[in-house]
Amino acid sequence: MKKNNELIIYLLLSAFALILISIIGFFSETNKTTFFDRVIVGSIFILSLLFGISISKKPGWYKTKNRIVDNKNEKKVSSEFKGHHPNCEGFSDHTIKVKYKTYCAGCLGLFIGSSINIVLIVLYLTFYNIIIDFRILLLIGLILVMVLFFIFIFMKRKPLSRVVTNAIFMLSFFFIIISILEITGSFVFGLLAGLLCFLFVDTRIKISKWTHVKICRNCEKDCKRY
């Protein structure tokens, strides 16, 4: 019940964030963006993506551990997990094998999407004079976020589709942040869009945890990892 309430709150906050971004993007007067604005937003975005990549490789590394963990018990727990998930049938479609190594499909998608975003930002800072309708780009980004939230919650996916959907989820942030920056001509609004994209990521994590709890609840085994 607690997970359900948390998820509902985050979904409502994300809905509000989507509305706020839409208002800023579609009702603001178009202003010219300076290279300084682009560098500020692009640099912070890249640093955020690098942090996200590190989390996709090792979730929770930044959290301080206030308790002493028994090494033997820690090895036992880690051996029961593969690709950030319990090594059981219920989570088999949440992991993917690449060259005999098991990865978390969602984290792999986030890693790929973040890496592509970094390349796109570098290209954007290099060739920023490309003529494009940023309001259309913003609309694409917003639609992607809404559709992907629906997919994450209601659709059962194969490992490869999990990789693809999570990668596209990260790409939608590039569309949103850069569009807001170019439309408003203000790095402040660009950073605000980036902050709201962090909320979308947090909501994505809540959906994932809610899904994990549901899988364990419907499982007949007694381990109940979530």
First to last CA, the chain: 13
Predicted local confidence at residue 68, as pLDDT: 45
Residue 127, token pair as written in the block: 């060739």
Predicted local confidence at residue 169, as pLDDT: 98
Predicted local confidence at residue 153, as pLDDT: 94
Residue closest to 226 by CA, chosen among 94, 67, 75: 94
Predicted local confidence at residue 46, as pLDDT: 96
What is the full per-residue pLDDT of the chain (226 aa) written as tens digits? 566 889 999 999 999 999 999 999 999 888 889 999 999 999 999 999 999 999 888 876 666 555 444 554 544 444 477 777 787 777 878 888 888 788 999 999 999 999 999 999 999 999 877 778 999 999 999 999 999 999 999 998 999 999 999 999 999 999 999 999 999 999 999 999 999 999 999 999 999 989 988 888 877 776 666 6
Q: What is the pLDDT of residues 24-65, one digit of tens each?
A: 999 988 888 999 999 999 999 999 999 999 988 887 666 655
